[in-house]
Structure 1
Amino acid sequence: MDKVSFGFEDVAPEEKTRRVGSVFSRVASRYDVMNDFMSGGLHRHWKDMFVRRVRPRAGDSILDMAGGTGDIAFRMAERGARVTVADINEDMLAVGKERAAKRGLQGLSWLRQNAEELSFGDAHFDAYTIAFGIRNVTRIQSALDEAHRVLKVGGRFYCLEFSTTTWPGFDKIYDAYSLRIVPKIGRIVAQDEDSYRYLVESIRRFPPMNAFKAMIEKAGFVQTKVEPILGGLVAIHSGWKV
């Protein structure tokens, strides 16, 4: 049986899906607070930068996959886009709906979806976004294939994800911080050390920037680009369907 990565472990695909679901159900209520603690608030800047690259326009129909708590969707909806927030995890969606209600945001659709098997028809959306979610998908290539399928001709794909920094020395500092400190922050802030150990380990198992770019191209996207941030600690990947 083929194995997939769950952090530093190799497990059956069904086991990864189940365990990732458990991780996000446990961390949903503290997810955004933990993002602030772990990144020192930088994730807000990265997300702003990401949405500027997407350039959502009034009337655009956008699928925000793994959109969970709504951080990306809110930014795009404020620019007039019609956003479908999709996530496999109901607990993350519940947090997002509550946050949207508090902000008085209307016009967002919230749907439980598996990125590998979307329920939408072909050529349905103008853009597909996924931020810090693709590495948690069990079969990443299947999710990329589905992203291509549901986009209209001329549609654009954007992915924001952690990667591997190429800055000499910084990689060692980040490794020490993420592997030793982040799980402890998770224990203190979210009362869940194991989930944040997995999330850090999952970054280490994610394909390097050029390898992931090749996977996007394999799905059929063209004019693909990679924009490294902090030397590739985080990267914005993009491509077009033609």
Structure 2
Amino acid sequence: MARPKRRARSGPRRWLRRSVKVLVALALIPIVLTFLYIPSFVHPVSTLMLKDLATFTSYKRQWVPIGDVAPALVHAVVMSEDGQFCFHHGVDLGELRGVIDDALAGEATRGASTITMQTTRNLFLWQRPFAGLRKLIELPLSVYIDAVMPKRRIMEIYLNIAEWGPGIYGIEAAAEYHFGVSAKNLTRRQATLLAVTLPNPYERNPAKPGRGLKRLAALIDRRVSRSAAYVGCLD
């Protein structure tokens, strides 16, 4: 009579052990893939692109080396999305502290996602739901990616997996879709308009910008003109 009880007690333990093994395996996936993604000939896809493939939804993406992207676009993305990209270690602690202070004070919080964090999310994580849980995973993983992957490679991957509209992934597809040119031939104005589209590509159209988007693009353009000290890791 005692043996069945021991088997009953061992059931939850077995389930726990299996759960731990699954979690460890899931944690190892991004750690291993990060190393595999370092070489420039590897062209990663995002989780959103995988979702489109799984649901038979068409999308456009053509990989382009960062050297074939107009510098104006690269600089505009840095100044629009993450001005401290070349200086932080995957997470901008100053911005993060500001968000935490605002939350504790009951004020509306602003975004504090760095380009590295966005790359991490796009490569390995989900968008919604459970954003809080995702952020807990995203922070240490972003620090890890920044430690093992060069900044220029992080930016190259980001530019090629970021979404610039429904089903429009990567800067080459975005440049051709919105302006009919390659990423290499983007003008400074086109580059800044594309950069300020990134936070909300479903509602912001760089080819048909409203007054607000034009003002924001002009602000980023002024920042780009003074960005030399902020983009040194990418030139």
The TM-score bracket by the shorter chain reads under 0.3
Instruction: Give the helix-richer structure, 1 or 2.
Output: 2
- TM-score, length-scaled by structure 2: 0.23
- TM-score, length-scaled by structure 1: 0.23
Larger radius of gyration: 2
Tell me which of the two structures has the higher relative contact order, counting C-alpha pairs closer than 8 angstroms and 6 or more residues apart.
2
